[in-house]
């Protein structure tokens, strides 16, 4: 199989056995890799009775055919399971170097089942695999764990994916870290790993990716590289990271403020990515073969942080404007704490913000918060709640269950800022109405990486040949719904290849690169068809897990117009937008179920 190693590593933790299993070639051809391929495997493996934290629940680490090649941005991997936070399809992906190293070590992915008798870690070195006792690592933070495994294996280039204390404590907003502070953060994949008593996976390899047309692929890689070197958005990301978007986001009403209830707040401009770079940046960090290097290594002298990872745009929103905090050093330190313990900044920030809102409304009392008075704008309070959540200490045990669970606890589910129990990211769908479709139909719950309409409608990620062109960001129409659906299919393809979404070479160049790697004969239109198939297999899997047409909606909180800011008075017309998306995906308008034609295309 050109482009693939052709092997999945199977791990049975209860039996302490590991073995190689051939990659399902048909599944790979139809669903590529990453989260798409994982969903096809899982469709046959899980159902509504599968407890996400039970031993029998599978956990999948998967790469894609471009991962580890010379193509810039092709360095990601996906982690997939049934989410303990949402109860539906769970996926997260991360950059860095772990994904490419797994491929160099001889595997396209790792499928893990059952539960170990005691904490363990897994080593993979050029096809040699072994389980080790991790009792002495249990309780270590993600940085200590990575460093100790590199020392134990005698190689500083060993790449480690691991959980922190939050994952060990089954915190449902915990993630999986690799390469310092890179994270597969969303949907609680860290808790799934922790439930299996699997602390870490360490990989090292010296192999190569088999390419069908090495010379042709080299030319395509060089062409993509030239595009990104001259790309303005890529240059902005390099200079100021994802935080470069903060000021523009605030101006357009896209930056959530005071738990998604305020349209503008002048101090939010103090959270600027330019200020971050000028005052607190120590250096950039890049992923595998990346020319952008959007990763930040920063400092926060006020809190004693000399060299820490982050923060990204999402972190600045989650621990800045969402909590009414305008000091950049606060999200820097909050990001570091979340990294140490291994938690998703989006989910935790949104859950802490909800706790502040509930307390101010009198729906939470000090008797329920361990005597702590909750209020917006207090950095020390935020840091304390992060610590309590990671350790499931007192009120932190409730925060560890996520935003929807907290809203239900006080009897106010209408105040949950979630879609299908996953917390809404730092992009307000009232600012870009196409994001309402992205959130409502995202297979893992509210997710800005399942279709970045906020980027497309300002001219980023344009793919004219696939009908992905900028439009009026406040347009409620059938066509806006269709465009949002196409964008979701496109990004689901990305999450299966798996590629970074910050680098967009276009459909012509991408299809050529895929063909040169695999030996396939994909046409440009085939990319959109495969993307839709990936969305549809996840859709059918979620219906199998209990979702229905009724789940395709936004929380009440985000359907209320704001009085000021760049989104003043704007709200999505969900019926109109979803009608367009359903038509694009060929779903029944009454049931939301994929048509029989779609099901046959999936081979089901």
DSSP 37-89: HHHHHHHTT--TT--TTSTTS-EEEE--TTTTSSSTT---EEEEEE-TTTSSE
111 domain residue, yes or no: yes
Q: Can you tell me the distance from the alpha carbon of 176 to that of 131, in angstroms, rounded to the nearest whole number?
A: 18
Q: Is residue 561 part of a domain?
A: no
303 part of a folded domain: yes
- The confidence band for 295, taking pLDDT boundaries of 50, 70 and 90, is very high
Please state, as a whole number, how many other Cβ atoms lie within 10 Å of the Cβ of residue 150.
Answer: 17
Do 375 and 466 lie in one domain? The reply is: no
Question: Which tokens is 366 given?
Answer: 């000090």
Distance of CA 249 to the CA centre of its chain: 20
Average pLDDT over residues 152-180: 98
Residues 266 and 186 in one domain: no
**pLDDT score for 522:** 98
Q: How many CA atoms lie within 13 A of 57 on its CB side?
A: 23
Residue 587: domain span: 430-553+573-601
According to the model, what pLDDT value does residue 73 have? 86
C-beta separation of 542 from 592 below 8 A:
no
- Find tokens 């302490």 and name the residue: 16
Q: Does 392 lie in the same domain as 272? A: yes
CA 101 from centre of chain: 20
pLDDT band for position 227 (cuts 50, 70, 90):
confident
Residues 59 and 198 in one domain: yes
Assigned token pair, 498? 């798996």
Judge whether 182 lies within some domain.
yes
Do 395 and 435 lie in a common domain? no
Q: For residues 60 and 40, state if they share a domain.
A: yes
Give the pLDDT mean for 39-60: 97
Q: What is the pLDDT of residues 382-441, one digit of tens each?
A: 999 999 999 999 999 999 999 999 999 999 999 999 999 999 999 999 999 999 999 999
Per-residue tokens: 533: 């198939």
Return the pLDDT at 235.
84
Cβ proximity of 67 and 103 under 8 Å? yes
Mean pLDDT in the chain? 97
Cis upstream peptide for 311 (omega within 30°): yes
CATH of the domain at 332: 1.10.569.10
Cβ atoms within 10 Å of 366's Cβ, excluding its own: 12
Share of the chain above pLDDT 90, in %: 96
**pLDDT tens-digit profile of 550-585?**
999 999 999 999 999 999 999 999 999 999 999 999
Is residue 148 scored above 80 in pLDDT?
Answer: yes
8 A C-beta contact, residue 196 and residue 419:
no
What is the CATH number for 71?
3.60.9.10
Residue 80 shares a structural domain with residue 178: yes
Read off the pLDDT of residues 56-80 as tens digits, 9 standing for 90 and up: 999 999 999 999 999 988 999 999 9
* Same-domain status, 148 and 269: no
Given 372, 399, 422, the domain boundary residue is 422
The model's pLDDT over 88-106, given as tens digits with 9 standing for 90+, comes to 999 999 999 999 999 999 9
Same domain, 174 and 299: no
265, exposed or middle or buried, with CB in 10 Å at 0-12, 13-18, 19+? middle
Residues 176 and 299 in one domain: no
- In total, how many domains does the chain have? 3
The CATH number that applies at residue 511 is: 1.10.599.10
Residue 271 in domain: yes
In 155-270, which ranges are E strands? Answer: 159-162, 176-178, 182-184, 198-204
Q: Let me know: does 8 contact 20? Beta carbons within 8 Å.
A: yes
Identify the bridge partners of residue 177 per DSSP, sorted by sequence position.
Answer: 162, 183
**What's the rounded Cα separation, in Å, for the pair 143 and 177?**
9
Distance CA 15, CA 7 (A): 21
DSSP per-residue letters across 548-583? -GGG----GGGGSPPSSSTTTT----HHHHHHHHHH
Instruction: Confirm whether 307 is domain-assigned.
Output: yes
d(CA 321, CA 323): 5
CA distance 104 to 184: 20
Domain-terminating residue out of 365, 390, 422: 422
- The 8-class DSSP code of residue 415 comes to G
Q: Quote the CA–CA distance of 310 and 324 in Å, as a whole number.
A: 20
DSSP code per residue over 125-138: ETTEEEEEE-TTTT
Other beta carbons within 10 Å of 370: 11
> Torsions phi, psi of 397, nearest 5?
-65, -30
Say yes or no: 465 and 416 in one domain.
no
Residue 564, domain member (yes or no) = no
Residue 36 shares a structural domain with residue 72: yes
Exposed, middle or buried, 214 (CB in 10 Å: 0-12/13-18/19+)? Answer: middle
Q: Element (H or E) spanning 150, and its range?
A: helix 142-153
Measure CA 283 to chain center.
Answer: 24
pLDDT value of position 503:
85
Domain end (from 422, 442, 459): 422
Does residue 296 belong to any structural domain of this protein? Answer: yes
Class of residue 128 by CB neighbours under 10 A (exposed 0-12, middle 13-18, buried 19+): exposed
In tens, the pLDDT along 346-380 reads 999 999 999 999 999 999 999 999 999 999 999 99
The 10 Å Cβ neighbour count of residue 375 is 12
């Amino acid at each position: 199989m050109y482009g693939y190693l052709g092997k999945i590593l199977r791990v049975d933790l209860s039996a302490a056995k590991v073995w190689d299993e051939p990659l399902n070639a048909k599944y790979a051809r139809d669903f590529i890799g990453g989260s798409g391929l994982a969903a096809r495997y899982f469709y046959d493996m899980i159902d509504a009775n599968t407890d996400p934290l039970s031993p029998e629940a599978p956990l999948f680490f998967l790469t894609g055919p471009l991962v580890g090649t010379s193509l810039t941005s092709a360095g990601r991997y996906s982690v997939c399971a049934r989410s303990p936070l949402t109860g539906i399809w769970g996926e997260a992906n991360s950059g860095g170097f772990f994904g490419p190293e797994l491929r160099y070590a001889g595997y396209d992915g790792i499928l893990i089942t059952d539960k170990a008798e005691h904490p363990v870690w897994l080593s993979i070195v050029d096809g040699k695999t072994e389980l080790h006792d991790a009792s002495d690592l249990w309780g270590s933070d993600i940085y200590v764990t990575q460093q100790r495994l590199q020392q134990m294996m005698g190689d500083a280039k060993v790449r480690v994916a691991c959980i922190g204390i939050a994952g060990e404590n089954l915190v449902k907003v915990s993630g999986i870290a690799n390469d310092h502070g890179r994270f597969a953060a969303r949907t609680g994949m860290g808790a799934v790993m922790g439930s299996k008593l699997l602390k870490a996976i360490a990989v090292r390899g010296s192999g190569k990716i088999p390419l069908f047309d090495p010379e042709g692929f080299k030319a395509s890689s060089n062409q993509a590289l030239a595009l990104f070197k001259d790309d303005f958005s890529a240059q902005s990301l390099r200079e100021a990271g994802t935080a470069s978007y903060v000021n523009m986001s605030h101006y357009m009403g896209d930056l959530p403020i005071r738990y998604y209830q305020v349209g503008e707040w002048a101090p939010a401009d103090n959270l600027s990515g330019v200020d971050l770079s000028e005052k607190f940046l120590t250096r950039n960090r890049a992923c595998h073969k990346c020319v952008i290097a959007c990763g930040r290594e920063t400092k926060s002298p006020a809190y004693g942080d000399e060299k820490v990872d982050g923060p990204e745009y999402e972190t600045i929103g989650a621990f800045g404007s969402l909590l009414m905090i305008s000091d950049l050093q606060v999200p820097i330190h909050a990001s570091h704490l979340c990294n140490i313990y291994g938690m998703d900044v989006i989910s935790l920030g949104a859950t802490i913000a909800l706790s502040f809102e509930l307390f101010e409304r009198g729906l939470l009392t000090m008797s329920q918060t361990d005597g702590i008075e909750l209020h917006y704008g207090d950095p020390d309070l935020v840091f304390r709640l992060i610590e309590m959540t990671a350790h499931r200490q007192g009120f932190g045990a409730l925060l560890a269950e996520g935003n929807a669970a907290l809203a239900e606890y006080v009897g106010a589910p209408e105040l949950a800022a979630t879609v299908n129990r996953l917390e809404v990211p730092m992009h307000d769908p009232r600012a870009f109405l196409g994001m309402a479709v992205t959130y409502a139909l995202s297979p893992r719950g509210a997710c800005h990486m399942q279709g970045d309409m906020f980027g497309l409608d300002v001219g980023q990620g344009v793919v004219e040949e696939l009908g992905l062109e900028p439009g009026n960001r406040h347009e409620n129409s059938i066509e806006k719904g269709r465009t949002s659906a196409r964008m979701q299919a496109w990004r689901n393809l990305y999450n299966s290849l798996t590629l970074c979404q910050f680098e967009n070479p276009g459909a012509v160049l991408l299809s050529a690169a895929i063909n040169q790697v695999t030996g396939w004969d994909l046409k440009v239109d085939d990319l959109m068809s495969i993307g839709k198939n990936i969305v549809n297999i996840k859709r059918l899997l979620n219906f199998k897990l209990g979702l229905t047409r009724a789940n395709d909606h936004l929380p009440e909180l985000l359907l209320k117009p704001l009085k000021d800011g760049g989104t003043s008075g704007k709200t999505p017309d969900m019926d109109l937008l979803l009608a367009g998306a359903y038509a694009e995906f060929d779903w029944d308008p009454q049931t939301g179920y994929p048509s029989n034609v779609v099901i046959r295309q999936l081979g089901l």
